[in-house]
A and B are shown apart, each in its own frame.
Chain A
Amino acid sequence: MWDPYKTKNSLKSIVIHAFLTAVALTCLFPLLWMIRSALMSNETIFADQSLIPAEFKISNFYYAWTEGNFGGYFLNSVIYTTSVVLGIVVVASLAAYAFSRLEFPGKNFFFYLFFGAMLIPLPGSFVPLYVLMNKLGLVNTRIGYILCMINVGLSVSIILLKVFFDKMPPDLENVARIDGCSKIGVWWHVALPLARPAIAVVVIYNSLNVWNEYILATLLLNDKSLMPLQRGLMVFQGTHSVDYPLLMAGLTITAAPIILVYLLMQKHIIKGLSEGAVVGETAFLKSH
């Protein structure tokens, strides 16, 4: 490949690497500092500023998990993330399949309804949503939070899957139909397995969204036993404002699964997140 900006010059190459490395270090350092602070005791954290602590107090993680209740928060985050993502995959792929393959009156109208929702930013929609959930008696329930979060990821997921189905040749589905498979059977046995790459994008994009969600968890869940990690962190910080080692252990517990999964499958995750983030904008710009 010819290099448009000429890197033959070794000095220039060093400068470029120095720049990239410096930025990479700024990305990593706060996380290293977090882990390091999680391993210190309440006395040493206020006195010692070395990067590697003199002694590793791994028991902090145990106390954060048990007394800090991060074990419970963690379990809740896992429950919410899996059930919301599962719900989105089923509900969104059913709808996307219909929008792509099947005929019914008002098809375009309903599609643009979902599409429009992605383009209109609605800050403060949590106010009427909270009022509604209160009316329905769904505040402080797992199912209430799960349904709200399914809705949050629905539009983007439907568009992502519909775009994929549109590009997918329908031959296999037609064969299955001729063989007497029902429409729902075709969706489940033929279309869904073929759409695996798009489903992976939907799963990745939404898992991260749910794991990192804060505001609805705050408004809808007041009971400690129902709270996910992000909410639990703020509660912990509010009540134990000075216990930095345990807070840092809690932060590490929250961030570690995300970072580990990311490092293991970064290629898919980068693809999944960038496709999810730009689907609205690119679809809009292309449509003009």
Chain B
Amino acid sequence: MHTLKIKRFSWPAFKDHFGNFIFIVPALAIFSVFYIYPFFEIFNLSLYEWNGITPYREFIGFANFGELMQDKVWWASIWHAAFITLIALTFQNALAFALALACDRQIRMKKFYRVIFFIPPILSEIVVGLVWQWLLYAGMQDGQHIGLFNYFLNKIGLPHLVHNWLSDPQTALTCIAVVHSWKGFGWGFLLLLAGLQTIDQQLYEAAKVDGAGPWNVLVHITIPMLLPVIVVVMILTILGSMQVFVLILSMVGQGLVYHTEVPVTRILSSMTRTNQFGYACAQGVVFGMILVAASYVLRQISNRMKQE
């Protein structure tokens, strides 16, 4: 016979649970004020026209979103971020994979390489951006190029390649993407190398017995076994690269230029330059949804691949 369990209120049990709950109160308090409240507030504010200063704000419904759809600079900025992400996904991750493969063997100085490759990732975007901006500096004095890169190009007999790398719309975004990759490849290298080292050596032995060449080993053993790690690296790369912006601020300066705008710099300038707080929030909401959709699709694909 089933006995119906009725939870009777008991004072000791209540006291016990309440005492336990106290443990999460500090975390919950900070989290509610500084994460949950802004999370809902960004949706709320996106429906207003507001300069961020005056107490009065005008409710305008979805007008900010309508305006955003027409905003050519905004959609260009998304394309710019996508371009940086594309470079990071291909160039940066291919480099990371090649380096990880090169290090996944008994090789001298393996530890040394590992330590060095992880130096750029620990530096701040401000430091990286300002150092590279100096290397790519386009100024001249007494007919001499001051920036090392242009000086070097001139010296090795390629003076026609010398130019203003960071203000020329043709090259600025590519330079940013390359520096971003320089800063980031150490992550992929580290995660992929760790993944490679978990692959069962017996698989390689078996392949050797079967007479498989290096290419076959790579395509039929290494890559399939590494797939979960590759997916993690790809998701981290996409979410990280789409939201890059501090690097851009430090490389091309705070007076933002159209051809290096990305979504987060657009949000920032709606907020701090034109004082359109509602519009900035609408941009944040739309961009956040794009990112959530992108990572959802990636996770679905990775789950599908795992089942096969």
Chain A residues with CB under 8 Å of chain B are 1-7, 13, 16-17, 19-20, 23-24, 26-28, 30-31, 33-34, 37, 45-47, 49, 90-92, 94-95, 97-99, 102-105, 110, 113-114, 117, 119-132, 147-148, 150-151, 154-155, 158, 183, 187, 208, 211-212, 214-215, 219, 230, 233-234, 237-238, 244, 247-248, 251, 254-255, 258-259, 262-263, 266, 269-270, 273-274, 277-278, 281-282, 284-285, 288
- B60 at the binding interface (Cβ < 8 Å): no
Q: Which of B16, B121, B135 contacts A273 (CB 8 A)?
A: B121
Q: Does chain A have a CB within 8 A of B76?
A: no
Chain B residues near A102 (CB, 8 Å)? Answer: 20, 23
Separation of A37 and B134 alpha carbons in the complex (Å) = 9
> Considering the complex, which residues of chain B in the window 270-308 have a beta carbon less than 8 Å from any beta carbon of chain A?
271-272, 277, 280-281, 283-285, 287-288, 291-292, 295, 299, 302-303
Contact A150 B30 (CB under 8 A): yes
Q: Are B99 and A7 in contact (CB under 8 A)?
A: no
Query: Once the chains bind, are B31 and A99 in contact (CB under 8 Å)?
Result: no
Chain B at the A interface: mostly helix, strand, loop or mixed? helix
Closest 4 CB pairs of A and B: A124-B284, A98-B23, A212-B124, A151-B34
Interface segment among B82-90, B165-173, B230-238: the answer is: B230-238
Other-chain residue from B35, B126, B204, B302 in contact with A285 (beta carbon distance below 8 A): B302
Q: Within the complex, which residue of B23, B119, B277 is in contact with A31, where a contact is CB–CB below 8 Å?
A: B119
Q: How far is the CB of B120 from chain A (nearest CB, A)?
A: 6
In the docked arrangement, what's the CA distance between A23 and B115, Å?
12
Contact A6 B235 (CB under 8 A): no
Knowing that A123-B264, A214-B246 are A-B contacts, what are 4 other residue pairs whose CB atoms are under 8 Å apart, sorted by A's residue number? A103-B20, A114-B31, A121-B292, A233-B250
Residues on B with beta carbons closer than 8 Å to the beta carbon of A219 = 272
Q: A24-B113, A94-B26, A127-B281 are in contact. Are A30 and B107 (CB under 8 A)?
A: no
Contact between chains at A123 and B131 (CB < 8 Å): no
Interface centre among B127, B243, B250 (most CB of A within 10 A): B127
| Complex alpha-carbon distance, A274 and B188, angstroms | 10
Interface membership of B63, Cβ < 8 A:
no
Q: A98-B24, A128-B42, A131-B41 are in contact. Are A30 and B250 (CB under 8 A)?
A: no
Query: Does B119 contact A28, Cβ atoms closer than 8 Å?
Result: yes
- A4 close to B114 (CB less than 8 A): no
Chain A residues whose CB sits within 8 angstroms of the CB of B16 once the complex forms: 103
The answer to whether A214 and B124 have CB atoms under 8 Å apart is yes
Is B123's beta carbon under 8 Å from chain A?
Answer: yes
Q: A33-B135, A123-B284 are in contact. Are A151 and B30 (CB under 8 A)?
A: yes
Chain B residues with CB under 8 Å of A47's CB are 141-142, 144
Q: Are A99 and B24 in contact (CB under 8 A)?
A: yes
Q: Nearest B residue to A7 by beta-carbon distance? A: B105
Q: How far is the CB of A279 from chain B (nearest CB, A)?
A: 11
Q: Which residues of B contact A91 (CB under 8 A)?
A: 26-27, 30
In the complex, how many angstroms separate the beta carbon of A167 from the nearest chain B beta carbon? 19
- Name the CB-closest residue of B to A15: B102
Do A208 and B122 contact each other (CB < 8 Å), given the known contacts A123-B264, A127-B281?
yes
